[in-house]
A and B are shown apart, each in its own frame.
Chain A
Amino acid sequence: MLQADQLAAIRAERLIFRDLSFTLGAGEALIVRGPNGAGKSTLLRVLAGLLPPAAGRLTWQGEDALLDPPLHARRIAYLGHQDAIKPALTAAENLRFAASLSGGDIAAALAALALAPLADLPARLFSAGQKRRLALARIALSNAPLWLLDEPTNALDDAAVALLATLIATHLSQGGLLIAASHTPLPLPRTTELTLG
C-alpha cells in the first residue's frame, strides 16, 4: 500500500504542488490529470524517488519509502515521457538489461505489446508508436508492484491502447498498483482520479 502525505515539490525555485495526499491499495489505479505544466510528471518523479519531495512523506506498507532509494527503485516500474530506447540496439537487446534485473521473459513481454515480429529489428527503424510500445514492454517485463506511467498512451494507436489496457488489467488483478498521468481516458474499469493545478 502506497500512501502520500502532504507532499510538496519545488523545481527551479518554483512551487509545483503542495499538500498532496492520497492512499492507494493493492489492485487500485490512480489517474493523475491536469493541464500542461500542472506537475503531473514532477509528481511521478517524486513518487519514483528521482526527485526528493520538498515536504511531506511517502510511505510504502507503513514505512518511509524514500529512505532507501535503491530498495524503493526495485518496487517500481517507471515509464517517463522519454522512451529510453537505444536506437542502435534491437528491440530484444533493448530489453535485455531490464530483463537481467527482473528475470522476466523478453519474448513474452514483446508479444504482450505485439512486437514479437520486430524483436530482431534495430530500434532506430521503429516509429514513435512502436518505440512507445517497446518502452511499455519494459514495464510488462518487470515484476514490480507499483507502475508509474507518464502519458503511456502517447503516440499509441487504438490497437496498442487496447493492449496496454489488457496489460494494466492483468497487473491490477494480480494485486499491483498503478499511477498514471494521462490526458486521454484510459480504458480501465475502476480508477480514482487526482486533479492537479
Chain B
Amino acid sequence: MTPFLALIRRELALAVRHGSDTVAALLFFLVTTALFPLAIGPAPATLSGLAPGIVWVAALLATLLPLDRLFGADYEDGSLDQLLLSGLSPLGIAAGKSIAHWLLTGLPLLIAAGPIAVMLRIDPTHIAPLLAGLLPGTLTLSLLGTAGAALVLGSRRPGTLLPILILPLATPVLIFGTIAATTDHPKPELLLLTALLAAAAPLCPLAAGAGLRAAAQ
C-alpha cells in the first residue's frame, strides 16, 4: 500500500473511532437548515427562493466545523512529526488530509443536500444544478479548509483565526454555487466552480504543506 493511501485509511479509521465528531458536521447541517422554515415561515414561495442559499451557507459552515481538529490533534500529540517523517512530502500529507476531510464531511453533505433542498421546497428543476455545484464546491472548500487549518497551526487561537482566513476565500464558491441553483442556465457557473476546483487542487496542498513544515519547526 502506498503511503498516500495508508494516510487516508488512517484518517478514516480515526474518524470511525471518533464517531461523534464525524457526524457532528452532518448534524449541524441538518439542524441549521431545519431551523430556517421555523424562523422565516413555511410559505413555499418564500422558502423555494431562499433554499439554494440556505443549503450553500449551511454546507459552508458545516465544512468549517471539523477543521480545527484536522491537524490540531496530530500537532498536539506529536503525530505530525511522524507524518512528516513518513516519507510523504508535506504536499502529499495535505492532499491526503483534504481527501479524507471531503470523504468525511463533503460527501455526507452532498448526499444530505438533495432531501434537505426538497424539504425547503426548492424548484425541482434546480435540484440537479444545486448538487452539480456542490460536488466541485465542497471539494474546493475541503482544499481551502485544509490550507487554512495548516496555516493557523501553532497559533494561539486557531479556532478564531480559521473562519476569518477561510470565509473570504470561500465567497466565490458560495456566489457561483447559489447562482447555479437559481438560474435557468447554470452551465457557466458550474464551469466556473470547476475552474475554482482546478486552481485550488494544486495550490491549496502546496500552501498547506508549507504551513505544516513551518508548524513542525
Please give the residue numbers on chain A whose beta carbons come within 8 Å of chain B beta carbons, in ascending order. 11, 45, 48-52, 69-71, 73-74, 76, 78, 80-86, 88-89, 93, 96-98, 100-101, 138
Contact = CB atoms under 8 A, between A and B. Distances in A.
A96 B14 CA distance: 12
B41 interface: no
Contacts of A86: 14, 17, 77, 79
A89 B13 contact: yes
B133 to A, nearest CB: 35
A100 B1 contact: yes
A34 B79 CA distance: 26
B14 A78 contact: no
B123 interface: no
B3 A51 contact: no
Contacts of A82: 77-78, 81
Given A73-B85, A100-B9, 17 more contacts: A48-B85, A50-B85, A51-B216, A69-B89, A78-B82, A82-B78, A82-B81, A83-B77, A86-B77, A86-B79, A96-B13, A97-B10, A97-B86, A98-B82, A101-B3, A101-B6, A101-B86
A97 to B, nearest CB: 4
Q: Which of A48, A52, A88, A96 has the most CB of B within 10 A?
A: A88
B19 to A, nearest CB: 10
B81 A50 contact: yes
B84 interface: yes
Interface residues of B, number: 23
A154 to B, nearest CB: 13
Contacts of A11: 217
Given A50-B216, A70-B89, A101-B6, A84 B82 contact: yes
A103 to B, nearest CB: 9
Contacts of A71: 87
Contact of A50 (B10, B84, B87): B84
Contacts of A80: 78, 81-82
29 contacts: A11-B217, A50-B81, A50-B85, A50-B217, A51-B217, A69-B89, A70-B88, A70-B89, A71-B87, A73-B84, A73-B87, A76-B85, A80-B78, A82-B77, A82-B78, A84-B77, A84-B78, A84-B79, A84-B82, A85-B77, A88-B14, A97-B6, A97-B10, A100-B6, A100-B9, A101-B3, A101-B86, A101-B87, A138-B82
Contacts of B6: 97, 100-101
Nearest to B91: A70
B208 to A, nearest CB: 16
Interface string B1-12: 101001101100
Interface centre among B9, B85, B87 (most CB of A within 10 A): B85
